[in-house]
Amino acid sequence: MSASAGVALGFETRALETHALAPDAVAVRVITLRPRFEDGRSAPRPSLLLPLEPRLGPPTEPPAAVSFTRDEGRVRARVEFAPGSSFYGTGEVPGPLERSGRSVTLWNTDTFQYGAENDPLYQSHPYVLAVRADGSALGILADSIRRGTITIAQCDAGQAVELAFDAGAGEWAEPFDLYLIEGSHPAEVTRALGALVGRIALPPLWALGYQQCRWSYLSAEELRALALEFRRRGIPCDGLWLDIDYMERFQVFTVDPATFPDLAGLGDELRALGFHTVAILDPGVAVDSELAREGLARGLFVLDEGGQPATGKVWPGACHFPDFTSAAVRAWWSEHVRAFVAETRVDGLWNDMNEPSLMDSPTKTLPESCRHAGTGLVGSSGSGGDHARWHNLYGQLMAEASRAGLVRAHPDKRPFLLTRSNHLSGARFAATWTGDNRATWEHLRWSLSMALNLGLSGQPFSGPDVGGFSDNPDRELFARWFELACLLPFFRGHAEKGSRRKEPWAFDAETEARVRAAIERRMKLLPTLYTLFREASESGAPVVRPLFFADPADPALRTLDDAFLLGDDLLVAPAVHERAHERSVVFPKTPGGWYPFPAGGLPITERERVVPAPLGTLPLFARAGAILFEHDPRPSTATPPKLLVVHVFCDESGRAAGRLYEDEGEGHAHAQGVYRDARFTATASESEVVIVEHTTGTFDSPVLERLLLVHVGGKTLLAPRRLAESYRVPRP
């Protein structure tokens, strides 16, 4: 990639006061680069994207060669790297984990049945994580909401990352600021990214259980029967989802009285069975609805070039679109969300079609000439702009308003919201999924690489439509998808109208048993998952991590995307190819190797091993030095666990450590200290293993029994079933 021949732009380089971002950001160096146009104009401040205004420190030098140019209506930033660097992030992208030689378009687009060649997709994440040859890392964040392109290619110096964004025109012409986040490890950089763009809030525990969806479950009777079938078959499930057919004529904030005559009562029934309900909401407002008349009277919709409310076709037919760039519109929407949730008593919401997606537009969205108010947004100057400027932020602003409505409806509960369209700082409002995928082995593999890159881009709460949204999987693909996805952050089965049934029992008894085992595996490991979500809410750390996080300087790990780390301590190696009976696993170097989980035994110390992976199994390996936790399986998170299994995997020095976080799983008492945060350490001598537990918080765990298993010296030692704060386990 040759350097741009455009007009060079001068820029100011300033260090950020990282202690003002977060206590854990002091290990990194954050630098902002502020280019200026020839007339002195700079990017809007405060930022339209970042939730806080970072404090600037003194002038400094950038940690890489950087240049800014302006040409052909675009502003370009170029950052050069020496050979041996690897590149990740860029958000929601199909294809391999490592992004060298690839280009990504940032323009949120409804892309049904996408393939590797499809670009763009539903979200925009103007961020690249570069890992240098020595394992140190540099995050590159472009503070722009406009249409953009990220290109990673060879250059004379080695490799270069170019981020180019539309400059706009007239009064809305603007460059963008660039942030460089430098750290000795990619984990440090990822945590600092979370401090800049905002971290997720701790979700309700039920949102981490298995979720079942279809376009659509067509009646209350069908949804009730579905719930009873899950319980009859003994398959754990926490959430049942309502797609667009629950609405009256597909109109937002309505319920079809013929098919769902008492949605609130149905929700009460389902909660009694341990289920939560989630309902879809689309932004399009039918032009002939009472909601449209209300919005028209108050001037709440996006306007076309002529100043009239813009119109486009979506599921209800002709629709207007709320202008979420207006604070008044967001407040209006959140009030309707509040009223809808209070009336229907649904537990969560699902924002879809919010790019926004149009069915009668060649661009699949509103014309770029449409006008937005831009009032009540930090950095917008209160004087709006065209849709070309605001398009990429539309879904995030809808998510912000929807979440606010959920909070108002249930102030005593933690809100759960899923969104299809989003931007770099939108994870603080909603979880996401990877859109309308297909039932193919390729899409199964992308389920992992996409979740990993989203996690590296500041969105730790994501997952695929398990089983494939469209097309029809066979038994093997269906079971393998559950095996892979059962330990991804968001775990939902979903299916397109017209495709075969994809509930866990949709095939034969053998496949059902394999799917049940996968879902039960997630339920067992919920203590570990929930602790990792707590960590994500505290530090911005991804829940699932690429293998190179274990050893960033190891080049052999840089391109591996068929296995992943759950946190730092559990290596997950699913079978991702058809008719596989075994698979090769590359093990990151760690003192003491990797133990088969949960069985223990002798740790694996070699670099690579072929392990059995017949259908119905998921190879798991615990890092030596880790302490991991399991519960007994249960129908849903509404049933308290009875047993906690503590697995201690000693490293070569006989030590291990782990964290277990518990709270009520709902509500906000944890913010007042009603939680239990336990830090376990273990030390082995020739005669015994001493386990010590230090706890903070006032939450009383519901667990009645504890089972302590110590894996050391190729043996598994069983301690008595109660574990005190300090315990000694004799070695034979």
Residue 508 has pLDDT above 90, yes or no: yes
Lowest-confidence segment of 54-68, 279-293, 528-542, 564-578 by average pLDDT: 54-68
Measure the CA–CA gap between 463 and 484, rounded to whole angstroms.
11
Cα 129 → chain centroid: 16
Same-domain check for residues 230 and 94: no
Residue 365 resides in a domain = no
Same-domain check for residues 180 and 251: no
Q: What is the mean pLDDT of residues 388-413?
A: 98
Is the distance from CB of 428 to CB of 404 less than 8 angstroms? no
Q: What amino acid positions are annotated as catalytic residues?
A: 352, 355, 436
Residues 6+ apart with CB under 8 A from 24: 191, 195, 539
- For 574-630, give the secondary structure using H, E and C: CCCCCCCCEEEEECCCCCCCEEECCCCCCCECCCEEEEECCCCCCCEEEECCEEEEE
Band of pLDDT at residue 5, cut at 50, 70 and 90: low
Measure the CA–CA gap between 627 and 8, rounded to whole angstroms.
54
456 φ, ψ to 5°?
A: -75, -15
Same-domain check for residues 240 and 126: no
Q: What is the mean pLDDT of residues 284-313?
A: 99
Quick one: pLDDT at residue 625?
A: 99
| Tokens linked to 97 | 């984990």
Provide the domain count of the chain: 3
| Single-letter amino acid code for the residue at 462 | S
Same-domain check for residues 131 and 13: yes
CATH number at residue 666: 2.60.40.1180
Quick one: pLDDT at residue 17?
A: 79
Same-domain check for residues 177 and 263: no
Measure the CA–CA gap between 675 and 506, rounded to whole angstroms.
39
Nearest CA to 548 out of 188, 186, 191 is that of: 186
Quick one: pLDDT at residue 25?
A: 61
Is the distance from CB of 191 to CB of 129 less than 8 angstroms? no
**What is the share, in percent, of the chain residues with pLDDT greater than 90?**
88
Q: What is the mean pLDDT of residues 696-701?
A: 97
Same-domain check for residues 142 and 227: no
Same-domain check for residues 443 and 510: yes
User: Tens digit of pLDDT for each residue in 635-664?
Assistant: 999 999 999 999 999 999 999 999 999 999
Residue 292 resides in a domain = no
Lowest-confidence segment of 337-351, 369-383, 503-517 by average pLDDT: 369-383
- The residue range of the domain holding 162 is 7-197
Nearest CA to 479 out of 493, 462, 463 is that of: 493
| Single-letter amino acid code for the residue at 649 | F
Lowest-confidence segment of 13-17, 183-187, 410-414, 603-607 by average pLDDT: 13-17
Quick one: pLDDT at residue 462?
A: 99
Quick one: pLDDT at residue 729?
A: 87
Is the distance from CB of 50 to CB of 39 less than 8 angstroms? no
- Residue 338 CB-density burial (10 A; 0-12 exposed, 13-18 middle, 19+ buried): middle
CATH number at residue 121: 2.60.40.1760
Peptide bond into 619 cis (omega under 30): no
Residue 614 resides in a domain = no
User: Tens digit of pLDDT for each residue in 555-578?
Assistant: 999 999 999 999 999 999 999 999
Nearest CA to 570 out of 542, 537, 605, 528 is that of: 528
pLDDT, the chain, mean: 95
Quick one: pLDDT at residue 237?
A: 99
Quick one: pLDDT at residue 111?
A: 95
Residue 103 resides in a domain = yes
- Final residue of a structural domain among 197, 226, 252: 197
- Final residue of a structural domain among 178, 197, 216: 197
Same-domain check for residues 633 and 710: yes
Residue 316 resides in a domain = no
CATH number at residue 420: 3.20.20.80
Residue 558 resides in a domain = no
Measure the CA–CA gap between 593 and 652, rounded to whole angstroms.
8
Band of pLDDT at residue 380, cut at 50, 70 and 90: low
Band of pLDDT at residue 377, cut at 50, 70 and 90: confident
Q: Position of tokens 């039960």?
A: 520
Measure the CA–CA gap between 320 and 291, rounded to whole angstroms.
10
Half-sphere exposure of 616 toward its Cβ, with a 13 Å CA cutoff?
Answer: 6
| Single-letter amino acid code for the residue at 297 | A
User: Tens digit of pLDDT for each residue in 113-137?
Assistant: 999 888 899 999 999 999 999 999 9
User: Tens digit of pLDDT for each residue in 47-89?
Assistant: 888 988 778 889 999 999 999 999 989 999 999 999 999 999 9
Maximal C-alpha separation, the chain: 84
- Final residue of a structural domain among 481, 500, 525: 525
User: Tens digit of pLDDT for each residue in 188-227?
Assistant: 999 999 999 999 999 999 999 999 999 999 999 999 999 9
State whether residue 357 is helix, strand or coil: coil
Same-domain check for residues 167 and 266: no
Peptide bond into 460 cis (omega under 30): no
Query: Treating both helix axes as pointing N-terminal to C-terminal, what angle do 526-539 and 509-524 enclose, rounded to 10 degrees?
Result: 50
433 φ, ψ to 5°?
A: -130, 170
Measure the CA–CA gap between 113 and 216, rounded to whole angstroms.
18
Nearest CA to 195 out of 360, 340, 313, 26 is that of: 26
Same-domain check for residues 272 and 220: yes
Residue 331 resides in a domain = yes
Supply angle C-alpha 213, 365, 162, rounded to 5: 100
Same-domain check for residues 150 and 101: yes
Quick one: pLDDT at residue 72?
A: 83
Check: pTM over 0.75? Answer yes or no: yes
Same-domain check for residues 273 and 189: no
Residue 532 resides in a domain = no
